[in-house]
Structures are given as structure tokens and as C-alpha cells.
Amino acid sequence: MPKVLITTVPFADKNRLPLDLLEDAAVEYLINPLNKKLTEDELVELVSDFDVIIAGTEPITKKVMDAATNLKMISRVGIGLDSVNLLEAEKRGIVVSYTPDAPAPAVAELTIGLMLTLLRSVQLSNMEMHNGKWHRFFGRRLSEITIGIIGIGRIGAGVLQHLQGFGLPKILVNDISPDSNLNKKFNIEWVDKETVYKQSDIITIHTPLTAQTKNMVRKGQLLSMKDDAIIINTARGGIINEQDLYEVMQTGHLSGAAIDVFDFEPYAGKLREIQRCILTAHMGSMSVDCRTRMEIEATEEAVRFLTDQPLEGVVPEEEYAVQREGL
């Protein structure tokens, strides 16, 4: 009987269908017994007997693969691949699949929500009300500001689409592969990153974590932003240097920030001291519908693999190329 290790948690909390799919296919499975994001060493202790890992953002490294002597497939619940050593998997003939479309709507919506929350100081007003204070904060509207989007893939494009419902804000866009077709649908301006940093009132990050984007936003970039600007990261931890963001915000620079993803999770760093910095627990994809779709798609792909059916979500070659470039 094939065996599947489900490392991502929560799993099947809102919909049992992923587990039903495994049971109907006569697959034995184990859901992460520690009920938390696993470290490399914790994974090593668990993986030895399993044919497939249905994975979250746990580090699936060479060391993990060395211990996973039966591993033939990794089915990623989500889109980011920085936690999977694709090149090591390729050497061993381990198939890697992912669910790139499923989380995008939820992450894009959370990004818009964070923009509105910070522009209107909702989190600060809530805190003051709970402390018995009555203070009416002035704020800004999306249609009156300049918004910078760095990375215009599935999620960045979703944010761009949502912004069209808020009047006609000025939108600056940066991407390594500018798509001129977007200019036919949206009123946007393609610019370099330096222009995004200097001219935007809000900057939202939607790039993958690669060797090129690791620590992409450091003290220099943050200080080049407007004094009252806002920065949001719902993409990947490590793109914004957290220590630099903390130090810059300690000086009073930037009116706000929102960070949903962190270098090390669960996060326990100094940004917790900054009240105008909203911190959320990597919950961008955690709408019931999107999370359920991610789990179902990843499980369906695992079942297809184990039953010799054609796969639908295999990671494309360009993702492997990104990791090769980082060597």
C-alpha cells in the first residue's frame, strides 16, 4: 500500500474531501503529528517510509531527501517553491507538483484589505478603542494615492484587478518580464524598482523568493521611500529584510507596514514592538475556499501519480532554472 506524509497543517479541517480521495485510492497517510511547521530535522525523523509528501512550506532539502529513501513525489499545497530543493529532487527523479492558481484570489484580497487597514489606521483605532481611548484618525483613499506593485504574476495581477474598483489610482508596476498586454486593460506605468520605491505611497510585494529577491528590500530601499509610505509583503519571507524594516520604522520613517510572511515561522521577532506594523501569521491563502482548493488539487495530483494517471500540476522547467541561477 502506498504511503503519503501530509506535512502541511491545518489539513482537511474545513473539508474532508482530500482524505476521502486518499482513502478511496487505498492510500495510507499520516498527517503531521506535531501540528506545526516542521523543521528540517523534524522532517528527517518522519519521512523515511513515505512515497509521497503533500507539503506546505517545510524545508525539503537534500538532507530530508537523503532520509526519504522511498520518496518519489512532492505535491506542494501552494505556489512558492523556495522551500523545495528542486535540483536535488531532479537528480533523484522525484516529481514535484504544485497548485499555483488556487491561493492567488485569497492572497490578492488580503493584500487589498491590508492596504485599506493601513491607509485608514484601522488597527490603531481598534487598539485605542480597546484601551478606552477615542481618537479619530485621518486617512487616505486608494484613488488618491500612487500604488507600486513589484511582481505582476498571478497574485500581483489579482491585486491590480481589484484596484480597478477603487477609482483610478496611479499604479506603478515593476516585473522582470513586463507584459505590454496589461497596458490594454489597465492604466499602469512600467518603471524600475527605484522609481517604485521613491514615488509610491503604498508598495506591495508579489515576487517569488529566489537568490535574486532574497533581501531585495533593505535599509537603503526603505529609506528611499516617502516618509509616510506603506509597504506590504504577502509574498515570501526574506524578501524584505526584517531587521532593517524594524530599524527604519523605529526612527518613525514609514507610516505603516504589513507583513504576512517571515524568514522564520512562527515569527517571534522585533517587529512585534512596532504598533503601526501589522503582522499576520502567513494567512494569505487561508480563505476556506482557496485553502480547500489547494488541498484538493495537491491531493488529486498525488493520487494521479500513485495510480499512474497523467499529472496536471507538474512544476515547469523555468522554476528549476530559477534555482540553477541561484547557485
Question: DSSP E strands: which ranges in the chain?
Answer: 3-6, 28-31, 52-55, 73-76, 95-97, 146-150, 170-174, 188-190, 202-205, 230-233, 256-259, 277-279
Cα dihedral value 220, 222, 228, 229, nearest 10: 130
Q: Which of 76, 206, 282, 293 is the catalytic position?
A: 282
Residues 54 and 115 in one domain: no
Statement to judge: residues 48 and 131 lie in one domain: no
pLDDT at 326: 81
72 with 173, same domain? Answer: no
DSSP character string of 147-180: EEEE--SHHHHHHHHHHGGGS--EEEEE-SS--T
Contacts of 266 (CB under 8 A, 6+ apart): 36, 37, 281
Burial class (CB in 10 A: 0-12, 13-18, 19+), 173: buried
246-250-252 Cα angle (round to 5): 125
- Contact between 305 and 98 (Cβ < 8 Å): no
253 is catalytic: no
Distance CA 71, CA 45 (A): 14
Q: Which of 23, 144, 265, 325 is catalytic?
A: 265
CA–CA dist 17, 298 (Å, integer): 12
Residue type, 252: G
Whether 85 and 180 map to the same domain: the answer is no
Determine the pLDDT at residue 61. 98
Please indicate, yes or no, whether residues 97 and 126 belong to a single structural domain of this protein: no
Q: Are residues 181 and 266 both part of a single domain?
A: yes
Q: Evaluate if pTM is beyond 0.75.
A: yes
Task: Determine the pLDDT at residue 327.
Answer: 60
User: Is residue 77 a contact partner of residue 300, using CB atoms and an 8 Å limit?
Assistant: no
Cis amide leading into 10 (omega within 30): yes
- Residue recorded with cell 479619530: 136
Q: Which tens digit of pLDDT belongs to each residue from 214-272?
A: 999 999 999 999 999 999 999 999 999 999 999 999 999 999 999 999 999 999 999 99
C-alpha span between 230 and 8 (Å, rounded): 31
| The residue to which cell 501540528 is assigned | 35
Which among 58, 76, 206, 236 is annotated as catalytic?
236
Q: What is the CATH number of the domain that holds 64?
A: 3.40.50.720
- Segments in the chain below pLDDT 50: none
Does 282 participate in catalysis according to the annotation?
yes
When divided into structural domains, the chain yields a total of 2
The whole-angstrom separation of Cα 281 and Cα 259 is 9
Same domain, 156 and 183: yes
Q: How far apart are CA 237 and CA 260, in angstroms?
A: 8
Indicate whether 114 and 249 sit together in one domain: yes
- Residue 283 CA to chain centroid, in angstroms? 9
What is the spatial distance between Cα 242 and Cα 112, in angstroms, rounded to a whole number?
22
Indicate the length of the chain as a whole number: 327
Last residue of a domain, one of 243, 260, 279: 279
Verify whether residue 272 is a known catalytic residue.
Answer: no
Pair 229, 257 in one domain: yes
89 in the same domain as 23: yes
305 and 274 housed in the same domain: no
Q: What are phi and psi of 297, to 5 degrees?
A: -65, -40
168 with 317, same domain: the answer is no
- CB of 78 within 8 A of CB of 235? no
Domain span at 36? 3-102+287-325
C-alpha cell belonging to residue 58: 517545510
